[in-house]
Chains A and B, each alone.
Chain A
């Protein structure tokens, strides 16, 4: 496992793509957060909603490069034929996948933390009074929101890795992942029955996972913050398990 991990880390480190994608995550997260923050009319009382959530909104966009990074770790190998070398070097296929997952987690932790802290910094600079209160990392809910957003990005990465292992083709995998993330919330909006709507919001990976960012009005959330993140973790686990199973049973 250590050797497999070392191999995966070397692959990740020595190709230009992953670094650019992590930089892309940071740039898009900070840019969207700053853009959204600058648009909102804030008074000394607040911004008419959850300010913490507003400043962390950048992950709506920042999760996309994370997903690409994750799925290229496996579907990139399928398209270049590298996967055969990988599986010859590490014949235990589940170990190879686990090594990829661990290496990915490390990379996304680094990039995600930078992205989220960048967004927080941007928020504090743009909303001096309100931001200090809503984004103080000594404030329990705000700390949970910031830390949880990094965890969310890691889980989105793992979910994408699982999908890509099962689907193999990169374009189709990203279609499936982005569909899971963005389309379910859109569908939930158009459904007029409130129970169905809440059910969809509770079970979709993005809307449930981002409940971790909520710091106000917790009673009215469709799902509580940590339970929401657990749902996203469930998605990541399920897709990784399905991907691992298919990786074991199929020819590479």
Chain B
């Protein structure tokens, strides 16, 4: 090192102590070693390739449309409906004295079981069209009385199951667009469960009894269930007068309805005094299990896993190559501030990977969406800010993972060990959550504490308390909020970079 160079450097960038030069040197190295830019290009191409593959691999053309609720979200709207059209304002009451569910244990082997969200009660609905607005008061298999409307709203009422000894009386009032639900144990004291404003009911709406029975969550899967309810004392008040009841299955052919178990079907029997109604399905927002044909943004960005390998390999090689070729001695001789070298490498690597990742997601997302939609695939809706967050978050995930690999490379000084450690830390938790047996609690724990938590940035699905399901990372539901999940990975990267800086300073190169 000649004094001339030193003074020239500090003269040009006073106060920065030549950090820009270190940065420039690292950028030049990155740019000129053929394999590294190639790795970044490979990452972009892998994102695109998998977006195209996901887009074209599924053909849903000709399948029935997915019912859409008033809020634009996909819904399940399949149930057994005993109804009649009623005009204007009025009130209806009924007593539910039994609600029993059956779950198939094998082909033709139907046994009694518990379906917490089996529903039986009163509903007022614009029409029998799937996705039309409604409000309903109901008893459930295990969640007491509930008042629900617009598919996503759910209010709790008096808890407890129903039986012949302790029937539950339900009442639904219409006053314009305002629907009020009441529940009572004795028919004398009524408790308001909830009030809903339901737009678009029209002058004449369909009013009546309904029974729904969503699939029972069992182990790793679900089993379609069927439920039967007994209604007594069905009565109109305040303006409505009884006409003829019609029993109908709403939405029998719907992608969000799994159908009835073998040898069962929806039905209504009995007279006006006592009606026995059997039904299956649900009136609720659809989730990944009730709408298995639906695609998500995460599916389109499956290539993230493949791109991750490319950027992790480049990140590890960015430092281990120097150790192999003893270039590290030259690097550290030129810039003796060792942690500054590491910081410069991290900045260059993060920036390049982020830009590559953003380029990949920005092209892959619309391309994959377009191809999927051309094949008739329904995509779960995503708002523009969420779409932006997925693109930026995925790019940041790739960039941070490559910096983690860089620090692992500096710690292990061995490419294969660094790549394996980082790749397993990020990808293996995801692979394990997909293994049958894995309880949801264990899967969610893995998605909280491992670097793989960062995949939460690709979350676009909404979890609903009133829909039973497997809300695990495997299905696209993450326990952490998107940026909180990313923060877990970032914390690992920061800790690992600090360890690398300490070791780099202490060890002989």
Residues of A within 8 A of B (CB): 36, 39-41, 47-50, 54, 57, 60-61, 64, 67-68, 71-72, 75, 79, 169-176, 178-179, 182-183, 185-187, 189-193, 196
Contact across chains for B424 and A189 when beta carbons are under 8 A apart: no
Residues from chain A with Cβ under 8 Å of B418 in the complex: 171
Assembled-state Cα–Cα distance A54/B442 (Å): 14
Q: How long is the Cα–Cα vector from A154 to B52 in the complex, in angstroms?
A: 35
A52 to B347, CA, bound (A): 47
Q: Cα distance A68–B431 when bound, in Å?
A: 19
B427 touches A182 (CB 8 A): yes
Structural contact, A192 and B293, CB atoms closer than 8 A: yes
Which chain A positions have C-beta within 8 A of B312? 175
Find out whether the CB atom of A49 lies under 8 angstroms from the CB atom of B423. no
Give chain B nearest CB distance to A201 CB in angstroms. Answer: 12
Which residues of chain B are near A39, meaning CB under 8 Å? 437-439, 442
Please tell me if the beta carbons of B438 and A171 are within 8 angstroms of each other in the complex.
Answer: no
A178-B423, A191-B57, A193-B59 known; A171-B415 Cβ under 8 A: yes
Is B219 in the interface zone, CB < 8 Å from A?
Answer: yes
Q: B300-311: contact bitstring with A at CB < 8 Å (1 yes, 0 no)?
A: 001001100110
Distance of A71 Cα from B420 Cα, bound (Å): 12
- Chain B, residues 194-223, CB within 8 Å of chain A (1/0): the string is 000000000000000000000000011000
Contact status A171-B299, CB under 8 Å: no
**Once the chains bind, are A185 and B431 in contact (CB under 8 Å)?**
yes
Q: Does B31 contact A (CB under 8 A)?
A: no
With A49-B437, A61-B424, A178-B420 in contact, do A171 and B320 touch (Cβ < 8 Å)? yes
Q: How far is the CA of A186 from the CA of B301 in the complex (A)?
A: 12
Distance in Å: Cβ of A132 to nearest Cβ of chain B? 19
Given the contacts A36-B438, A47-B437, A193 and B309 also touching, CB distance less than 8 Å:
no
**Nearest-CB residue, chain A, relative to B427:** A182
Hey, which chain B residues are within 8 Å of A50, CB to CB?
Answer: 436
Q: Are B416 and A68 in contact (CB under 8 A)?
A: yes
In the bound assembly, the distance between CA atoms of A173 and B423 in angstroms comes to 13
* Complexed CA–CA distance, A64 and B436 (Å): 21
B427 neighbours in A (Cβ, 8 Å): 178, 182-183, 186
Known contacts being A36-B437, A47-B437, is A186 close to B430, with CB within 8 Å? yes
Q: CA A195 – CA B436 in complex, angstroms?
A: 20
CA distance A80 to B299 in the complex (A): 42
Q: Would you call B295 an interface residue if the criterion is a C-beta within 8 Å of the partner chain's C-beta atoms?
A: yes
Q: Is B377 an interface residue (CB 8 A)?
A: yes
Complex: A196 Cα to B439 Cα, angstroms: 27
Q: Which of B305, B435, B436, B439 contacts A187 (CB 8 A)?
A: B305
Q: Return the CB mask of B30-71 against A: 1 if under 8 Å, else 0.
A: 000001000000000000001001100111000000000000
| Contact partner, B423, options A47, A175, A191, A192, Cβ 8 Å | A175
CA distance A173 to B438 in the complex (A): 30
Q: Chain A residues with Cβ under 8 A from B320's Cβ?
A: 171
Cross-chain contact of B428 among A61, A72, A171 (Cβ < 8 A): A61
Known contacts A171-B316, A196-B57: A186-B434 contact under CB 8 Å: yes
Q: Is the CB of B54 within 8 A of A190?
A: yes
A174–B54 CB distance below 8 A: no
Q: Which residues of chain A are within 8 angstroms of B434 by Cβ–Cβ distance?
A: 185-186, 189
Which residues of the partner chain A approach B414 to less than 8 Å between Cβ atoms? 170
How far does the Cβ of A202 sit from chain B's closest Cβ, in whole Å? 15
On B, residues with C-beta under 8 Å from A are 35, 50, 53-54, 57-59, 219-220, 292-293, 295, 298-299, 302, 305-306, 309-310, 312-313, 316-317, 320, 324, 377, 414-420, 423-424, 427-428, 430-432, 434-439, 442, 474
Contact call A41/B420, Cβ cutoff below 8 A: no
Provide the bound-state CA to CA distance between A71 and B435, in Å: 27
Nearest 6 Cβ contacts at the A-B interface: A171-B415, A175-B313, A170-B416, A190-B299, A174-B416, A192-B58
Q: Once the chains bind, are A178 and B299 in contact (CB under 8 Å)?
A: no
Beta-carbon contact of B437 and A60 below 8 Å: no
Q: CA–CA, A221 to B431, complex, Å?
A: 18
Bound-state Cα–Cα, A221 to B53, Å: 24
**Is there an interface contact between A48 and B54, defined as CB atoms closer than 8 Å?**
no
CB neighbours (8 Å) of A173 from chain B are 416
Q: Are A40 and B420 in contact (CB under 8 A)?
A: no
Q: Which residues of B contact A192 (CB under 8 A)?
A: 57-58, 292-293, 295, 299, 377
Pick 29 A–B contacts, CB within 8 A, sort by A. Answer: A36-B432, A36-B435, A39-B437, A48-B219, A50-B436, A64-B424, A75-B416, A79-B324, A169-B415, A170-B414, A171-B317, A171-B418, A174-B313, A174-B415, A174-B416, A174-B419, A174-B420, A176-B309, A179-B309, A182-B305, A182-B423, A182-B427, A182-B431, A183-B309, A186-B305, A186-B430, A191-B54, A192-B295, A193-B58
Given contacts A61-B424, A191-B54, A192-B58, contact A171 B302 (CB under 8 A): no
| Whole-angstrom CA separation of A71 from B414 in the bound complex | 13
Among A41, A75, A193: residue with most chain B CB under 10 A: A193
Q: Please give me the residue from chain B that is nearest to A40 by CB atom.
A: B437
Residue from A172, A187, A190, A191 in contact with B313 in the complex, judged by beta carbons closer than 8 Å? A172
Knowing A49-B437, A54-B437, the reply to whether A183 touches B306 (Cβ < 8 A) is: yes
In the assembled complex, the Cα of A41 lies from the Cα of B439 at a distance in Å of: 8
- Give Cα A190 to B431, complex, Å: 12
**What is the distance, in angstroms, from B71's C-beta to the closest C-beta of chain A?**
24
| Residues on B with beta carbons closer than 8 Å to the beta carbon of A183 | 305-306, 309, 427
Q: Chain B: which residue is nearest A80 at the CB level?
A: B324
CA distance A68 to B416 in the complex (A): 7
Q: Which residues of A contact B415 (CB under 8 A)?
A: 169-172, 174
With both beta carbons as reference points, the residue of chain A lying nearest to B317 in the complex is identified as: A171
Q: Which of B295, B377, B428, B442 is A182 in contact with, Cβ under 8 Å?
A: B428
Say yes or no: A189 contacts B437, CB within 8 Å. no
Q: In the complex, what residues of A have CB within 8 A of residue B439's CB?
A: 39-41
B residues near A60, Cβ cutoff 8 Å: 428, 431-432, 435
